[in-house]
Amino acid sequence: MDPVRQKLLAQAQLGGYVQTGIEAMVKVLKPVLKNPARAKHILDRFWSDKMALVWDVRDVHTAANEHGVALTDRQAIKIIRELHHYHYKQCGIKWGDLACYLEEYALGRRLTQRERNRFWEQNLLTIDRKRQ
């Protein structure tokens, strides 16, 4: 790969998000890998000219808390799966899609004032654990 392209790809990785994803993949696969370092090297090469945008339950919980709602992990996973299945593939999934889904389906419970304050002042998420 030429140096200019390599530099552009490195910048496109947005400060190591791809690297963090690769490390997470290797960590999850570690129990079945004979050589985790080699697996990481293979994944590094594989992802060197690609990018993937990854949404996780933390993103869903953050959006829910922004809208004053606490979700269970099960609800957050359901939202991710439905957004993935029904999204407009030419535009991808946007933060606003998540907000619309939360408003339309009114999932979860309202945050208490204390939970809202913790979220806005300390960036602490509230996850509803009662109905798991």
Asked if 46 contacts 68 with a C-beta cutoff of 8 angstroms, the reply is: no
Asked if 97 contacts 83 with a C-beta cutoff of 8 angstroms, the reply is: yes
The 10s digit of each residue's pLDDT in 88-112 is: 778 888 888 888 888 888 888 999 9
The 10s digit of each residue's pLDDT in 50-72 is: 887 888 888 999 999 999 999 99
Whether 61 and 118 map to the same domain: the answer is: yes
Number of domains in the chain: 2
92 falls within a domain: yes
Instruction: Give the closest residue to 104 by CA, choosing from 77, 58, 67.
Output: 67
Whether 30 and 72 map to the same domain: the answer is: no
Whether 70 and 15 map to the same domain: the answer is: no
Whether 67 and 111 map to the same domain: the answer is: yes
Whether 92 and 37 map to the same domain: the answer is: no
Q: How far apart are CA 38 and CA 40, in angstroms?
A: 5
Q: What is the pTM of this model?
A: 0.70
Whether 42 and 62 map to the same domain: the answer is: no
Q: Which domain holds residue 17?
A: 3-49
Q: How far apart are CA 33 and CA 26, in angstroms?
A: 8
Whether 117 and 63 map to the same domain: the answer is: yes
